[in-house]
Amino acid sequence: MMDCSDRHNRYFLRLFSPHILLYTEMVTSAAIVRGDRDRLLGFNDEEHPVGVQLGGSNPQQLYQAAQICAEYGYDEINLNCGCPSDRVQSGSFGACLMADPGLVSECVSALRSASALPVTVKHRTGIDQQEDYETFREFAAIQIEAGVDALIVHARNAWLQGLSPKQNRDIPPLKYDWVYRLKTDFPNTEIIINGAIKTLDAALEHLQQVDGVMLGREPYQNPFVLEKVDELIFGQCVSTTPTRLSVLRQTYPYIETQLQQGIPLSRMIRHIIGLYRGEPGARQWRRYLSEFGNKKTGDMETLYQAEKLII
C-alpha cells in the first residue's frame, strides 16, 4: 500500500468506522532511525487504532525503530514479510524474508522486547513456486514460538522473479484453504486473512474460518465498500449509515486545515477520488478532480465545484 495508506487516506477511511484497524504504508526501520521521523510517522489522533508497518531485517535496528514508533503512540507494530518488489528485495526485507524464518523470528523477538505493543507479521503462503503447506506451516510455527501476537496472511505466494508487485497481487493462485488450515493447526493464535477480498459479504464468509480479515486495495479504490462495516462486521446497532456525500463533507474541515498548513490539495484528493465509483456522475467527478485538483491553485472551491457534479 505504498503511496496509498498515508495519513490523509487513513483520516478519510476512519470516517467510515471507529472500529477498523488502519495501517501505515511500509516504513523502513533504517529511515525511522536515521530520517525525518515526524514526516514518516506523524499521524492524527483521530486515526486510532492505527498500526505501523515496518520493513527491515536487522533485529537491532528494528528494536530501535519499534521504540520510536511506540513513543509516537501507535497501537501495533507489524513486520512486512510479504512485499515482493525488487527495491524491497534489494534491502533484504519483505517477502524474501520468508526464506529465512529464523531471522524473522529474531526480528519478532526484538520488536516484542522494544515495547508492550502487539507485534504482528504480514506474510505470504510462500515464495516463488513453493507448493508445500508444511514449509508455510513451519514459517508460521517459528514466529508463533517467538511470541508473535497475530499472523496476517496474504493467501497467495510471492514470486520474487518475473512478476511485478501488481502482478503478484493477481497472478499467483489464491490459497484460502491454506490459511484456514493454519488456523486449525494453531487455534490459539490470531490468524487474519488477506488477498482479493472485495466485499463485506466475502469478509463475513472468511470470518467463519479465521479471526480477522484485512482489506487492502479495495477500500482504497472503492472506499464506500466500508459503508456497513460497523453493522455487518462489528455488530454495532447503527441508526444511520454514512452516505457518500456525508463522508465527503466530513473531510472538508480536515482538508481545509491541511491546505492552511501548506499541504497541496492533490495529496488529499487522490484518496477520495474513488468515493463515487459506480455512481451516476462518477466519471465527471474523477475527471474534474484529476484536472483541477492537481493544479497548484487547487483549493476548497475545487471541491465545492466537484461536489456539484454528483448531487
Q: Using alpha carbons, list the distances in angstroms from residue 246 to 20, 131, 275, 285, 311.
A: 19, 47, 11, 16, 12
Dihedral angle sign, alpha carbons of residues 70, 194, 83, 102: positive
Alpha-carbon gap, residue 119 to 78, rounded angstroms: 6
How many CB atoms neighbour CB 31 within 10 A? 17
Nine-digit cell string for 310: 454528483
Q: Nearest to residue 1, comparing CAs of 115, 92, 122?
A: 122
Residue type, 40: L
Phi-psi region of 190 (alpha: psi -120 to 50; beta: other; left: phi over 0): beta
CA angle 96, 145, 66 (to 5 degrees): 65
DSSP assignment of 186-199 equals -TTSEEEEESS--S
Starting at the edge strand found earlier in the chain, the sheet holding 212-214 runs 22-28, 50-55, 76-81, 119-124, 150-154, 190-194, 212-214
Please answer whether residues 69 and 26 qualify as being in contact, where contact means their C-beta atoms are separated by less than 8 angstroms: no
Alpha-carbon gap, residue 196 to 206, rounded angstroms: 12
Alpha-carbon gap, residue 284 to 207, rounded angstroms: 37
Q: Which of 83, 96, 107, 237 is catalytic?
A: 83
Going by their DSSP bridges, the two strands 150-154 and 119-124 should be labelled as: parallel
83 in catalytic set: yes
**Residues classed as catalytic:** 83
